[in-house]
């Protein structure tokens, strides 16, 4: 059973957008590291199947958009 912390339960929309934006930027960082590891592999024929570049760009773009929305909401009060 997942118990939601109080700071998220009573958070406003701007804070939730900021949390999701941060999580997506963290996912983008993980995808960036995974893509770098894939490019520097020792066995050239062990390619893998995850589209790390696409995951990086989509999650990074959406993360920055959500953080921008969160900052606008925090400024507005």
Give the pLDDT score at 65.
Answer: 98
Measured CA to CA in angstroms, residue 16 lies from 35, 42, 60, 62, 77 at distances of 28, 41, 17, 14, 14
Question: Which pLDDT belongs to residue 77?
Answer: 81
In a domain, 21, yes or no: yes
Q: Which domain holds residue 55?
A: 13-76
Residue 8 lies in a domain: no
Total structural domains in the chain? 1
Q: What per-residue confidence (pLDDT) applies to 27?
A: 98
Is residue 1 included in any domain, yes or no?
no
What pLDDT is recorded for position 3? 82
Per-residue pLDDT 10s for the chain (77 aa) are 778 788 788 888 999 999 999 999 999 999 999 999 999 888 888 888 899 999 999 999 999 999 999 999 999 98
Tally of CB atoms within 10 A around 17: 21
What pLDDT, on the 0 to 100 scale, is given for residue 11? 84
């Amino acid at each position: 059973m997942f118990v939601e912390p109080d700071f998220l339960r009573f958070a406003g929309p701007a804070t939730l957008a900021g949390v999701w934006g941060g999580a997506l930027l963290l996912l983008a960082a993980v995808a960036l590291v995974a893509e770098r590891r894939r490019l520097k592999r020792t066995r050239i024929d062990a390619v893998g199947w995850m589209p790390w570049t696409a995951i990086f760009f989509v999650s990074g773009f959406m993360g920055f958009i959500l953080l921008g929305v969160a900052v606008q909401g925090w400024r507005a009060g």
